[in-house]
Every structure is written in structure tokens, then in C-alpha cells.
Chains A and B, each alone.
Chain A
Amino acid sequence: EAQVTQNPRYLITVTGKKLTVTCSQNMNHEYMSWYRQDPGLGLRQIYYSMNVEVTDKGDVPEGYKVSRKEKRNFPLILELPSPNQTSLYFCASRPGLSTDTQYFGPGTRLTVL
């Protein structure tokens, strides 16, 4: 089954404790993104990657890091989580720039205390 998976789905952590949210897709997509969703603000792009070893900042990259060492994986790293990073996070992938059809993962609800 073609899908985007994220882990963990739910996480409660404390300020300053490094964490990684994994994202994996099995559709051989080139393009992957991370979004955060907050009430009243819609989906805001954090980082995106157009291919292996090619990543760039989205609209709200502060406090986040990403890596793209393999085509299928695009982990999101919070090295020093803070309470303002409490949010619902979605990973998404799409075949490439020829289409705007994105496939979203199930989401990760993160709470930073």
C-alpha cells in the first residue's frame, strides 16, 4: 500500500530534550515536506526536500533541522524543543514538481512542557 508513515504519532516531552520525528514514504517520491498545523494558522511549511541531500527552509524553520540521506526518509529533528513547538506535525511527499498532489502522513501530535 502506497503510504507516508510517521513516528511517533503522539509525543509528550520536556523543554530541551532532543527528539526526532521520523517520516518514511514507499512511493519513490522525490519531493518531501514537513508542515506544522496550529489552530487558526492552517498548514505552514517547515522544511522541504527536492531530492536526496537537497533540503531548504520553508516558512517557519527556526528550531528545526532535517536531513535527507535516503530518498524514502525525511526525519524532523528538534534539538532543543520549546513549548512554542507544541503542535500537530505532518510529513508529506509528492512525485516531483510536475504535480501538486501531495500525500500526507497521519500526523504527529507533539506537546513540549
Chain B
Amino acid sequence: GQSLEQPSEVTAVEGAIVQINCTYQTSGFYGLSWYQQHDGGAPTFLSYNALDGLEETGRFSSFLSRSDSYGYLLLQELQMKDSASYFCAVRSSSNTGKLIFGQGTTLQVKP
């Protein structure tokens, strides 16, 4: 079957750095993306990696290693507003653009 594994919960303090890992097993791989969702809200797109390496967008970075079927989201200089759920998603088909989502990681940022 197809699956994505993420930790269910992560806790960190304000100002710290936190890394959220995602490992995947899918029939196809055409990119890894990350979404943020605040409680009760809509998911919002954060970043996308199609090739190996690090992509940086402000305080957030995302990394991909296709040979290891692994990626991570790195959040730096954590702020209270970063408390949310974070989902990784793999594009498993080039023809249909199908996205398979992980179960999500709940990040709690403490003062």
C-alpha cells in the first residue's frame, strides 16, 4: 500500500528550531509538499520539493532525499503562532496529480 509516516506530536519552545520528518512509501513519486493547518482552519501550502536538497522560504525550509524516501520540514525561530498541524503530501502520479497526505504532526510551541 501507499503510506506516509510522520510523528504525531512535537513540542518545542519559542525561539527554538524544530524538524518534522516524513518518510514515504508510494507507487510513484513526483514531489513532496508541506501544508500547515491551524486548528479548525484550512490547510495552507508551505513548500514543495521535487528534487533532492533543501528549499528555503523565510523561517521554513524543506528537505528531500529521494534515495531515502525521506523529507523534513524545518521551522526556525519558532513563534507561538507556529503551533499547528503540519502535513506532508506526496504526488504519486504525474498524469493525475494525485496527492497522498500523511496523518499530520501537531506542533505545540511553548513560551
Contacts and interface: CB of A to CB of B under 8 A. Distances in A.
Interface in A91-113: 94, 96-97, 99-107
- Chain B contact-residue range equals 20 to 34
Contacts of A12: none
Contacts of B101: 35, 42-44
Contact of B99 (A41, A90, A100): A100
Q: Is the interface of B mostly helix, strand, loop or mixed?
A: loop
A83 B40 CA distance: 21
Contacts of A97: 94-95, 97
Given A41-B103, A42-B103, A45-B99, A104 B91 contact: no
Contact of A42 (B87, B91, B95): B87
Contacts of B45: 101-103
A35 B45 CA distance: 15
Interface residues of A, number: 27
A61 to B, nearest CB: 13
Nearest to B95: A97
A74 interface: no
Interface in B61-100: 87, 89, 91, 94-100
B15 interface: no
A31 interface: yes
Interface in B47-61: 48
